[in-house]
Amino acid sequence: MSCSSIGKCIIILVNSFFMLVGLAFAAVGVILSFFPNFLLDQIYDTVKESLDTDFKQGHIKIPDTADNLKHLPFLNELGVALLILGVVLFLVAWLGWCGACCTSCCRCLLLVFALVLLVIVLAETATGAMFLVTDSPLHENLRKELKQKIHDDFNETSQDSFSAVIVIINDVFDCCGVDGVADFVNNTHYSCGNYTEGCYIELIKLIDDNEQWAGLVLAVLLFLQVLEVIFAIAIFKEGNKISPF
């Protein structure tokens, strides 16, 4: 089997997988955007049962159902983002799949695929690096926005969706706010219980503990994509040698 044939097989197999992933992302995006209760009802019932008994009494109130949670900040935006990501991922994978399957008539798709995938690789490298480096501007801005949101909108005696989610996160992950009890300087914070360490600090610890695995997954993903770019360009150039059309 020639190098060109091996390249075609790799591009077809890898992009078949990514087309399925794209469809899955798009499906989740549609559910979050248009049918949020479909997922939230099941997740909320499970989480609610796990809450400490002390949190179900006294000062803390959480909604009885997940109806309010469909108005969570950024939930619709997250759904739209996943939908767009899924569609883009599917289309890019389809370009590579179609170009590799039909080199006689769709060879130009391989060149478009290679260029688009190269841009995606650069974007993934930058985003992945900012996420894995815990003192990056990405983390600093996210932490700042969350702290301001808690300062402005958190009300432990309310049943609004944002406050309910903060209460649940504090209990489930045994943490308090973003950086600790200081985040609640203008609010009560009974949901923190005896926990004083911030939830974002817990997230940072989780990233640090799994940094090698996350980096390995990112490296493998980037390697496969760069390999696809190389094979796509090689197949395109080989086709040009056979026929200029």
Residue-range domain boundaries for the chain: 3-242
Amino acid making up residue 163: S
pLDDT at res. 143: 86
If pLDDT is split at 50, 70 and 90, which confidence band does 15 have?
A: very high
Please state, rounded to an integer, the average pLDDT across all residues of the chain. 79
Residue 245 confidence (pLDDT) = 44
Mean pLDDT to the nearest integer, 144-172: 79
The residues, any chain, with a CB within 8 Å of residue 136's CB and separated by 6 or more, are 129, 130
Residue 234's SS3 state is helix
* Residue (of 150, 147, 88) closest to 123 by Cα position: 88
Distance between CA atoms of residues 181 and 156, nearest Å: 13
Mind listing the pLDDT tens digit for each residue in 77-126?
778 888 998 999 999 999 999 888 877 667 788 889 999 999 999 988 88
Model confidence pLDDT, tens digit, residues 193-244: 777 788 888 888 887 888 788 888 888 988 988 988 998 888 888 766 555 4
Assessment of whether the complete model's pTM goes beyond 0.85: no
Note the pLDDT tens digit of each residue in 145-156. 888 888 888 877
Q: At what angle do helices 211-242 and 3-34 cross, to 10 degrees?
A: 130
Spatial separation of the C-alpha atoms in residues 39 and 87, rounded to whole Å = 21
Does 64 have pLDDT greater than 70?
A: no
